[in-house]
Amino acid sequence: MVSSMLFGATIAFGASGGDLVKKALDSGLKPMPTGAELDKITGNTKQNQLKIELGKKLYFDPRISSSNLISCNTCHNLGLGGTDVVPAAIGHKWTMNLQHLNSPTVYNSVFNSSQFWDGRSAHLQDQAKGPMQAAPEMNAKPEVIIAKITSIPEYVIAFKKAYGNNVKIDFDIIADTIAIFEKTLVTPSRYDDFLRGNTKALSTQEQEGLELFIDKGCVACHNDINLGGTLQPLGVAKEYKFANVGGFSGNKDGMVKTPTLRNILETMPYFHNGQYWDVKDAIKEMASIQLGVEISDGEAKKIETFFNSLTGTKPEIIYPMLPAQTLDTPKPEFQ
């Protein structure tokens, strides 16, 4: 099924703006929802504002880590496209990810059907628990995280305001609250306007790149709202050039999460192990190993031009003032 999807693409350039919109939609591309529909997905409602603000504080608070040095924002920096812009994530005691895995962007992750490179979490609430506990990342025990949060009066008050006076502050609700904030990190772009019928939203050159992107078969994996976010086999036509770096081979079935292409020009380096800095090289490698086709430098440049339209409008994030700890707050550990 995958092979037929990948190799069955035809090349037919020259669709008009309106025809290209239809072609894109028929190829499985979808615009980001708007208004009440988007708010329902992200939970960005008036009723949730206290939870979102609390989740933002927890997202930026490095005291969640055992060292008091690493926050969620360390690897998923909201000022750097939601990533850390290094080939492999660096965590506790300056430890590089053991499989040389690159930090995926947190922006638009609410639209992914799978979280983590091996897709082991289906939603952000579960995903948020992993990095906090992982030894090469934040290296924190759940009971210590709970002790830190509950020892800080301002956090306790904030949880009661957000969830009610009878709230139990446990590891689940801490992770859930971080995820509630993360769900709001969406970045609509001109590309979405184009898919909704505004043919002037993309330049002629961007439209040409989009059509090439479709006709080459890239939409077989990079589709739906996020142009990615689903599990797919890696190396359908031939082996990835840098497969040996880190040795990551996906889940038990060899499936790897397809990264979103939204804001792709801000989230280098590329691939799960961060081996390409120039997106044009990543485009050519992906076409070769997944589609079994060669993309020229000129074609890669056209697709890169289309990618400009995927750079979205970021939500305004004001760095929060974090509450003061007390003498009861567990001290940092570096072991």
Q: Which active-site residues does the annotation give?
A: 137
The answer for 85, left when phi > 0, alpha when psi is -120 to 50, beta otherwise, is left
Q: Which residues contact 137 (CB under 8 A, 6 or more apart)?
A: 65, 70, 75, 89, 91, 92, 97, 130, 131
CA 325 – CA 329 distance, rounded (Å): 6
Q: Which residues of 102-125 are buried (b: 16+ CB within 10 A; e: fewer)?
A: bbbbbbbbbbbebbbbbbebeebb
Q: What tokens were used for 205?
A: 């050159």
Residues 183, 181: Cα–Cα separation, whole Å: 5
Across 184-214, b (16+ Cβ under 10 Å) vs e yields: bbbbbbbbbbbbeeeeebbeeebbbbbbbbb
Per-residue tokens: 313: 């409008």
91, 70 in Cβ contact below 8 A? yes
Q: Which helix (H) or strand (E) holds 95?
A: strand 95-96
Number of other residues whose CB lies within 10 A of the CB of residue 79: 9
Question: Which parts of 169-221 fold into alpha helices (H)?
Answer: 171-182, 190-195, 204-215
Single-letter code of the amino acid located at 261: L
**DSSP secondary-structure letter at 79?**
T
- Whether 31 and 225 have beta carbons less than 8 Å apart is answered as yes
Take residue 113 and report the two structure tokens written for it.
């059907």
Tokens at residue 183, please? 């769900």
